[in-house]
Chain A
Amino acid sequence: MNKWEHQDERDLLALLEAKTYDMLSREERASLGAHISRETYERWRRLQLLARQSLKVGAGAQLKPDPTILPSLKTLMASRTRVKGPAPRLTLPLKKKPFRRQLSVYQAIAAAAAILFAIHISSNHWKQDVGLHAYPIFADSTSSSPQQIMLQDEDSVKDDSVLRLN
């Protein structure tokens, strides 16, 4: 394929499909003249018209879809629909419930009981279990009065043991 054909055949196709040689403008003819004769142009034009006529859908009336195709396709479609079940719901997935709503009353009671038990464990009684009251440092009665003991959180362990000793 030479350079001219590569560049201009695209435009030539449009001309061939639209115009006879006689309908071409002077410029169009001039652009073609040096490369394509009138005879060649008309032959190509006639060929594409004949091809179009010959190939046109319906030209060969004897060619029709096999009548068994559609029923078999519908059967296939029905079977696929049955296997897959109903169409999926086009809704967003449910949001997760808030944590509070997921707890039942019994779970809430159990949780509260567990918390109270933990507080109980961390309070005074554990010291007796491990015997801390036996050590003198915890028995220093001058460190604070009973009223102060009630207000002090951080020193409650030590002072509480003093109270008990007194």
Chain B
Amino acid sequence: MKQPGIFSENQLNEQPDELLMGLIRHGNEAAFEILYQRYSLKMLHYFHKMLGSQEAKAQDFLQDLFVKIIEKAHLFNPEKKFSTWLYTLAGNMCKNEYRSMQVRRILTHSDEWEQLCGKDPSPEVLMDQQQFEDSLDKALRALEPIHREVFVLRYQQELSIREISQIVQCAEGTVKSRIFYALKKLSARLCVYHGLIKD
């Protein structure tokens, strides 16, 4: 591996994540900044969806995630893909949060679904994209964490099934199965949008 300080800023921009991590291990701030620019927005959206659309919490988690990157850089194996490692770290942070806050219990006792699946939604509600997004957020929050995780990784982060299987450490078939299950659940829960979904 090349030693820090031998790349210009432009050259650093073109380097793969794995090499940048090697430089970060040696305290290279420029490499860290580039990695932050590459992933901060994605990871913020990931945390936002995984933690129930709480922006402040998502921002905190984003900061904590990058603190981990600084502190645990020596644990990264450069032979493996950086993004897989990053999403694994982020996923573990979310799981810890679910455990500590018992988010699942709070969400499953919510009565929002009754409102969401009311009999007579207005056409305005049905057609409002923002409304759909809010409803999708709520529907995602009600999913089991393992289903929510793969769904967000697939449809928000647009990772391949293989990458997701490495992140969640299970077989590709299991990932597909979980995504499909999530899709089916969401379809049932977003019943008021069947008209919209039907196109």
Binding site for B on A (CB under 8 A): 1, 6, 9-10, 12-14, 16, 39, 42-44, 46-48, 50-52, 54-60, 63-66, 69-70, 72-74, 76-78, 80-81, 84, 87, 90
Q: Which residues of the other chain, B, contact A9 by a CB distance below 8 angstroms? A: 176-177, 180-181
Q: Which residues of the other chain, B, contact A13 by a CB distance below 8 angstroms? A: 176, 179-180, 183
A16-B183, A51-B186, A76-B70 are known; give 20 further A-B pairs, CB within 8 A.
A1-B181, A9-B176, A9-B181, A10-B176, A14-B176, A47-B183, A47-B187, A51-B151, A54-B136, A57-B41, A60-B48, A63-B45, A63-B55, A64-B41, A65-B59, A69-B66, A74-B32, A77-B27, A80-B70, A80-B71
Does B20 sit at the interface, judged by CB under 8 A?
no
Within 8 A of A (CB), among B65-79: 66-67, 70-71
Known contacts A65-B59, A81-B27; A57 and B176 CB within 8 A of each other: no
Indicate if the CB atoms of B45 and A73 lie closer than 8 Å: no
Chain B: minimal CB distance from A59 (Å): 8
Q: Which residues of the other chain, B, contact A65 by a CB distance below 8 angstroms? A: 40-41, 44, 59, 62
Question: Which residue of the partner chain B has the closest CB to A6?
Answer: B177
- Mostly, the B contact residues are helix
| 19 contacts across the A-B interface (CB closer than 8 A) | A1-B181, A6-B177, A10-B176, A13-B180, A42-B198, A44-B187, A47-B197, A51-B183, A54-B136, A60-B45, A63-B45, A64-B41, A65-B41, A69-B40, A70-B33, A72-B63, A73-B70, A77-B24, A87-B26
Q: What 6 pairs across the A-B complex have the smallest Cβ distances? A: A81-B27, A55-B156, A10-B176, A9-B180, A65-B40, A46-B197
Chain B: minimal CB distance from A137 (Å): 78
Q: Which residues of the other chain, B, contact A51 by a CB distance below 8 angstroms? A: 136, 151, 155, 183, 186
Q: Which residues of the other chain, B, contact A70 by a CB distance below 8 angstroms? A: 33, 36, 40
Chain B: minimal CB distance from A82 (Å): 9
Known contacts A63-B44, A74-B32; A52 and B155 CB within 8 A of each other: yes
Partner of A77, one of B3, B32, B44, B184: B32
Indicate if the CB atoms of B29 and A57 lie closer than 8 Å: no
Indicate if the CB atoms of B70 and A77 lie closer than 8 Å: yes
Chain B: minimal CB distance from A13 (Å): 5
Chain B: minimal CB distance from A5 (Å): 8
Within 8 A of A (CB), among B145-199: 151-152, 155-158, 173, 176-177, 179-181, 183-184, 186-187, 190, 194, 196-199
